[in-house]
Amino acid sequence: MDKPTHIEVPVDSYEYAPVAGIKPLRTAIANLYNTLYRKGMKSQYTWENVCVTPGGRAGLTRVAAAIGHVHVGYFLPEYTAYEQMLSVFKKFVPIPTTLDEENRYHIDPATIRKEISNRGLGLIVASNPRNPTGQVIEDGELRQLVHIAKERRTTLVMDEFYSAYIYSHEQEKNGRCVSITEFVDDVDKDPIIIIDGLTKNFRLPGWRICWVVGPKSVVSSMQSAGSFLEGGANHPLQLAAIPLLDPAKYIIEAAALQKHFRAKRDFVLKRLEEIGFNIRVKPDATFYVWLDLKELNHPVDVGLIFFEECLKEKV
C-alpha cells in the first residue's frame, strides 16, 4: 500500500479533535475488527468501543487511569514501558511473572489462571505477539484466556501492535493476522481491552495514531482521562488514517509485510548462527530475536557492553 505523501487539511481540522477521536476513524477501526475477526458474530464493535490515542504509551496510560486500585500482573521478559507505567500509577500493585526459556517464554493459560487465583490479580497486561521474545499466542489459547478473564473477573489488556508480524503459518496463508477480539463473546461485557495502531503494522510511528478497543464503559472512562492527560490525537492525521483501514487493503498490506519480514527474519537468524550465536528460542512473530549472550567472550557477554560495541560497529 502506498503511504500518503500529501494530506488534505480541511479548515474544520484546525480545531481540536474529540478527545476519544473523530467518529469516522473510530467507526473505521470498529469495522476493521468486525470484518477481520467477528464475521457472523452477534456482538459487534461500534465507534463507541474505540478510543483513538496519540501513541501506544498514551493508550496504555489512559487504560491505567481508567482502572481502579488493583493488583496488576505482567510478564518478564516484556515490553519495558509496562513496568514504567506501573511504577507511575501508585494505585497499582505490580506483580511480575517470569517466563521460562524451557517453555519458549510462552504465556500458558493454566499459569495465568493460577497467578490470578494465588495473587489476586485484577488486571493483566501482555503483548501478543510478544515483545521482545517473538512468540505468539493463537487460536484455542486465546479463547482460553478470554474464558479465564470472564470467569475470574480479571481485565485482560492485550498489546497487539505486532498483530500482522506473524510467521507461524505457511506462506500461502500470508495476510492472516491475530487478535484476541476474535474470541470475545460480548464486546461490552467481556473484560478484554486491546491496543494497536498505525505504528508497527503500517510502519507509520511518526503519525502517533493508535487506538484502544474495549467495552463502551471503559472507553468512556478513557475519554475523561485523556482530557487531562494529553488531550487527544492529531486531527488532520486522524482523517488521513481512515482510508488506510479498509479491511481488503489491510489484508494485502499484511501479506506483503509478512513476506518481507519473514525473509528478513530468516536471513538474520542464519547470519547470527553463522557467526556463533546460539538461538534457543526462534521467533515466530514480531521483528525481534531474544538472544542469550552468555557464550560470548567477556566483556561482550554483558548486554550493555554488547550494545555499545554494536553502536561502534554501526550495526
10-residue block means of pLDDT along the chain (315 residues)? Answer: 88 96 99 98 99 95 89 94 84 92 92 94 96 95 98 97 96 95 98 97 95 97 90 97 96 96 97 90 96 90 94 93
Strands (E), 119-257: 121-127, 155-159, 192-197, 210-213
What grid cell was written down for 4?
Answer: 500518503
How far is it, in rounded angstroms, from Cα 291 to Cα 308?
16
192-197 and 50-53 as β-strands: parallel, antiparallel, unpaired?
A: unpaired
What grid cell was written down for 9?
Answer: 487539511
How far is it, in rounded angstroms, from Cα 234 to Cα 239?
9
Taken in order of first residue, the domains within the chain and their CATH numbers are 11-250 (3.40.640.10)
> What pLDDT, in 10s, does the model give residues 67-85?
888 999 999 999 988 888 8
The pTM is what?
Answer: 0.95
- The DSSP output letter for 123 is E
Least Cα distance to 244 among 253, 255, 236, 235 occurs for 253
How far is it, in rounded angstroms, from Cα 165 to Cα 176?
9
- At residue 84, the pLDDT reads 83
What grid cell was written down for 255?
Answer: 501479506
